[in-house]
Amino acid sequence: MIGDDGYFGEEIAAGYDRSAADMFRPDVVGPAIDLLAGLADGGPALELGVGTGRIALPLAARGIPVHGIDMSRAMVDRLRAKPGGDCVEVTIGDFATTRVTGEFALAYLVFNTIGNLTTQDAQVDCFRNAAAHLRPGGCFVVEVGVPDLRRLPPGQKAVPFDINDSGWAFDTYDVATQAMSSHYVTITDGRAEHWSIPFRYVWPAELDLMARLAGLRLRDRWEDWAREPFTSESGKHVSVWEKPAG
């Protein structure tokens, strides 16, 4: 059941950094910080869905003023408890609609967070919100996976993405509505526990249309933060849309 913290309440926040440990590795975070810091060019940045600060904290440590928006107080509490957490200002609210004071050189969403908005209307609102915060010439960056629907044979709705001795994880898809959920089953002392988070998957071309509705134009699209070319075989993309100057 969704609470005041959305789907990332205390129970999830308490183990989030541990469960996503691979995403905190320097070789994962470093290229993202390099690209984002370059786009910000010293100007302030706005992270939508700032969470526990995986990206905001090292970006702030590079001298980029960072403001975050997040619905989950439990996640933000973890950010504030970390070294440098007091350097990142955070506003509690829905990042699709919450406005903060100021004009930003960069706004960004990472690690599939755009999918946490589970309707097309909310995702469109998010683009408009990002654009409203950007100064002319500013950029909006989104990192998100490409839907893995080629692995779905007729009649199948689930795709596993992690199987190990302590549990397994899989995604379920509804191709008619673009609704999906990530399911996690953990096994402890012979007992299985299940929890899931809903998403809405979205295609690159659909995101480009959302950007156009918000007055943004596509500047770059890569497969990853290292700026490898985006191809039909890419499992995700990092896309940059720009607010026209003037």
pLDDT in tens, 133-144: 999 999 999 999
- Which residues in 93-128 are b (16+ Cβ under 10 Å) and which e? ebbbeeeeeeebbbbbbbbbbbbbbbeeebbbbbbb
% of the chain with per-residue pLDDT over 90: 78
Provide the pLDDT confidence category of residue 2 given band limits of 50, 70 and 90: low
Provide mean pLDDT across the span 10-32: 90
pLDDT mean over 217-237: 97
DSSP 3-state percent helix, strand, coil across the chain (nearest 5): 30, 35, 35
- CA nearest 141: which of 131, 152, 153? 131
Question: Phi and psi for 104 in degrees, rounded to 5?
Answer: -120, 150
More confident residue, 12 or 80: 80
**Listing from the earlier edge strand, what are the strands of the sheet with 45-48?**
89-92, 66-70, 45-48, 104-109, 134-145, 236-242, 217-222
Distance from the Cα of residue 196 to its chain's centroid: 17
Q: Which residues pair with 158 in a beta bridge?
A: 172
Does the pLDDT at position 213 exceed 50?
yes
Angstrom CA distances, 122 to 10, 58, 97, 106, 237, stand at: 24, 28, 8, 20, 20
pLDDT for the residue numbered 3 = 62
pTM above 0.85, yes or no: yes
* pLDDT score for 70: 98
- For strand 167-174 and strand 179-188, is the pairing parallel, antiparallel, or unpaired? antiparallel
Report the distance separating Cα 238 and Cα 143, nearest Å: 4
Mean pLDDT over each residue of the chain, to the nearest integer: 94
Give the per-residue pLDDT at 1: 47
* Structure confidence by residue, pLDDT tens digits, 150-200: 888 888 999 898 898 888 999 999 999 999 999 999 888 888 989 889 999
* pLDDT digit string, tens, across residues 66-111: 999 999 999 999 999 999 999 999 999 999 999 999 999 999 999 9
Q: Which tokens is 233 given?
A: 């075989």
Residue found by looking up tokens 């869905």 in the block? 49
User: Which is nearest to 220 in space by CA: 201, 234, 204, 206?
Assistant: 204
- What average pLDDT does this structure show over 50-79? 98
CATH of domain 10-147+202-242: 3.40.50.150
* Partner residues linked to 169 by β-bridges: 162, 184
Over residues 114-118, the mean pLDDT reads 97
In this predicted structure, the answer to whether residue 9 has a pLDDT above a threshold of 90 is no
